[in-house]
Amino acid sequence: MSNRRCIFCDIVDRVESAFIVYENSHAIVFLDKHPINVGHVLVVPKHHVASFYELDEDSYIKLMLTVKRVAAVLEAAYQPRKVGMLAAGFDVPHAHIHVLPMYEYHDITSRVILEGRRANPSEGELRTAAEQIQEGLRVGGEAAI
């Protein structure tokens, strides 16, 4: 392992900033800074492990329960055709699941990236999306950040 710090560990430790929309004892959920669609979040285990399949069974189940909870909120908040999830991990070697509203079939494929259609929202736009998701979590009965 290199001396380079893990950006996701730094977000968990509050060394790096992020638009955190939810957190519990085992996971943190924050907005992707370059979302495919508004509402695109990353669900990240709080302890460092490179890939989701390296998680112990209990941690994996808890991570996926968080994914499920957040997906339901995204569906209610954005009313997409589908809410999708993807575990890729090419950019950051810390297990994480992308969860995002999908309006088109290719929203979660590399086609979006190759066509340069990923968004570059302002801090204000990210803050608005974070607040919308947090409100959905509050309404659903589980406190957000």
User: What pLDDT sits at residue 6?
Assistant: 94
The overall longest dimension of the chain from CA atoms, in Å, is 42
pLDDT at 44 over 70: yes
2 in a structural domain:
no
User: What pLDDT sits at residue 144?
Assistant: 44
CB neighbourhood size of 66 (10 A) = 22
pLDDT in tens, 84-115: 999 987 889 999 999 999 998 877 776 666 66
Q: Using CA atoms, how far apart are residues 119 and 31, in angstroms rounded to an integer?
A: 12
How does residue 46 score in pLDDT terms, banded at 50, 70 and 90? very high
Give the range of the structural domain holding residue 30, as residue numbers without chain letter.
7-139
Q: Using CA atoms, how far apart are residues 49 and 77, in angstroms rounded to an integer?
A: 31
Is the overall model pTM greater than 0.75, yes or no?
yes
144 in a structural domain:
no
145 in a structural domain:
no
User: What pLDDT sits at residue 125?
Assistant: 85
Q: Using CA atoms, how far apart are residues 145 and 20, in angstroms rounded to an integer?
A: 7
